[in-house]
């Protein structure tokens, strides 16, 4: 890993941390430091390495379909014997054979995974070609296809999508800035500097960072982006690790029902007697249960517009309701109260509701899911605000709220299908009253006149 980096990318000096510093960082709950090794390091003194502060290691298992690391057994088994978390990696040669073939070769020769809490997910080392053209003579489309084949094959055989090791420059150049792996594959970024730098297309953050090709430990110097507890969870089955953290069978979720499954590309899920846990590499693991779970599944679950959950079920600030947030485009949520039930809200309508104060605003809680207007032009959510309240959106007007007497008058005139059309403003104060503007006019309300429309 990283043998080609210095020859192709600018680097800046990074400090070599002493064993005492590394030990102190781990004791203090800081980011765990580790390394990666290959046959170049030979037999490693693992007890000394662990004593010096190394918490994890990736070990080269294979390259192409004709090379196996002769020291793999000593390195892979010796490291875990010294109390470290370890994983195996494959050096890709995409011009040598297919992604499927190399994935099978890798898994057959040490690249497997078990949910034992000491085995990191399998990893693909995809970087500059040390033997020829940087991108191995493949077009960006062909390279992305090769990586997908490798990744999907590893997943089908191990239940984990492989971590991808690369650099931002290589990835964006050789895959054409393909963003499609960020939701499935953890990122191991190589960047020899004081920070991980800009992420490759598709990833918002790195899971691991190779910050130097020299250091206190044998091989390259790496750091995990999180605590030691999170590293252990990363090594374990993420769904089961989260279930255990909630209390397992004694938690509100109850006992498992069936086995883990893939509800949509890039994720895992497990059902329980009283809820479910959903996981993806970009959102982590979160629990959904009760009426919110029922509505979530009714809206398509992770494969629907809401996407994977980004929070567990939480109590609203006022204590009346509950909600889960999700990863849907533009943000998405389900909110529930005993009187309104559970309803989904997303995108621009959700953003406007949030700007108005969420459920604590005059609109209150949603009483419908986001719904397409009868003419198909716009979308809306209704809310529980006094006298009725709504937010309507179209691509041209944006999202605007309407409530109370003005909303009632607009509804009596035919909603957005009436002569006024969609709202183009929120309700706002005018001398002596309130007003909403519409595409073709306004409705003005005063205590003495009620709500009166005017047309343009």
Domain ranges of the chain: 5-235, 238-395
Q: β-strand 398-403 against 389-394: which pairing, if any?
A: antiparallel
Look up 359 and say whether it is catalytic. no
Please count the other Cβ atoms lying within 10 Å of the Cβ belonging to residue 374.
10
What does the angle CA 230 – CA 235 – CA 240 come to, to the nearest 5 degrees? 85
Mean pLDDT over 376-384 rounds to: 98
Q: What is the structure's pLDDT at 429?
A: 98
pLDDT at 16: 58
Average pLDDT over residues 281-287: 90
pLDDT of 281 over the 90 cut: no
- CB-CB contact of 347 with 328 (8 Å): yes
Active site residue 36: yes
- Work out the average pLDDT over 266-292: 93
Confidence check: pLDDT of 280 > 80: yes
Supply the pLDDT for residue 17: 54
Mean pLDDT of the chain: 93
Quick check: 334 pLDDT over 50?
yes
Q: What is the pairing mode between strands 398-403 and 85-91? A: unpaired
Token readout for 180 is 């499609």
Fold of 5-235: TIM Barrel (3.20.20)
Q: Mean pLDDT lowest for which of 10-14, 48-52, 289-293, 383-387?
A: 10-14
CB atoms within 10 A of CB 188: 26
Residues near 276 by Cβ (< 8 Å), separated by ≥ 6?
Answer: 253, 269, 270, 287, 288, 289, 293
pLDDT higher than threshold 90 for residue 160: no
Encoding tokens for residue 303?
């494969």
pLDDT at 398 (0 to 100)? 98
Given the residues 63, 127, 178, 369, select the one marked as catalytic. Answer: 127
3-class SS of residue 376: coil
pLDDT over 90 (residue 220):
yes
| 274 CB-contact burial (10 Å; exposed 0-12 / middle 13-18 / buried 19+) | middle
The residue annotated as part of the active site, out of 36, 220, 222, 359, is 36
- The partner residues of 36 in beta bridges, in order of sequence, read 58, 220
Q: So what's the pLDDT on residue 15?
A: 54
Set 63, 125, 359, 427: catalytic member = 125
Per-residue tokens: 201? 């297309």
| pLDDT tens digits along 116-144 | 889 999 999 999 999 999 999 999 999 99
With a cut of 50, say whether residue 28 has pLDDT above it: no
């Amino acid at each position: 890993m990283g043998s080609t980096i210095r020859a192709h990318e600018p680097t800046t000096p990074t400090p070599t941390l002493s064993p005492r510093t590394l030990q102190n960082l781990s004791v203090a709950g800081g980011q765990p430091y580790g390394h990666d090794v290959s046959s170049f390091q030979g037999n490693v003194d693992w007890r000394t390495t662990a004593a010096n502060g190394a918490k994890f290691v990736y070990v080269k298992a294979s390259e192409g379909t004709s090379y196996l690391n002769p020291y793999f057994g000593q390195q892979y088994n010796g490291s875990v014997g010294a109390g470290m978390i370890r994983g195996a990696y494959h050096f890709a040669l995409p011009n040598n054979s297919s992604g499927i073939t190399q994935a099978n070769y890798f898994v057959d020769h040490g690249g497997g995974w078990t949910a034992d809490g000491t085995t990191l997910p399998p990893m693909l080392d995809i970087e500059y070609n040390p033997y020829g053209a940087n991108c191995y003579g493949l077009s960006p489309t062909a390279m992305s296809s090769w990586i997908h084949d490798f990744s999907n094959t590893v997943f089908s055989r191990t239940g984990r999508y492989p971590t991808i090791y690369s650099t931002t420059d290589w990835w964006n150049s050789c895959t054409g800035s393909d963003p499609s792996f960020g939701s499935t594959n953890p990122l191991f970024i190589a960047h020899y500097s004081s920070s991980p730098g800009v992420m490759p297309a598709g990833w918002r953050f790195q899971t691991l960072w190779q910050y130097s090709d020299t250091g206190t430990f044998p091989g390259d110097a790496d750091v995990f982006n999180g605590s030691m507890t999170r590293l252990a969870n990363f090594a374990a089955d993420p769904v089961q690790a989260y279930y255990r953290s909630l209390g397992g069978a004694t938690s509100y979720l109850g006992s498992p029902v069936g086995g883990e499954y893939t509800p949509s590309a890039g994720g895992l899920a497990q059902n329980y007697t009283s809820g479910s846990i959903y996981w993806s590499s970009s959102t982590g693991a979160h629990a959904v249960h009760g009426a919110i779970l029922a509505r979530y599944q009714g809206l398509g679950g992770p494969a629907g517009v809401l996407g994977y959950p980004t929070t567990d079920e939480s109590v609203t600030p006022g204590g009346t309701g509950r909600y889960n947030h999700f990863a849907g485009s533009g943000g998405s949520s389900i909110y529930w109260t005993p009187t309104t039930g559970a309803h989904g809200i997303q995108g621009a309508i959700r953003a406007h509701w949030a700007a108005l104060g969420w459920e604590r605003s005059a609109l209150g809680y949603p009483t419908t899911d986001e719904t397409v207007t009868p003419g198909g032009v716009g979308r809306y959510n209704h809310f529980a605000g006094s006298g009725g309240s709504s937010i309507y959106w179209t691509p041209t007007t944006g999202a605007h709220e309407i409530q109370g007497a003005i909303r009632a008058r607009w509804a009596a005139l035919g909603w957005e299908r009436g002569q006024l059309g969609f709202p183009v403003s929120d309700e706002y104060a005018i001398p002596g009253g309130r007003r909403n503007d519409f595409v073709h006019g306004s409705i003005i309300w005063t205590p003495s006149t009620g709500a009166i429309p005017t047309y343009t």
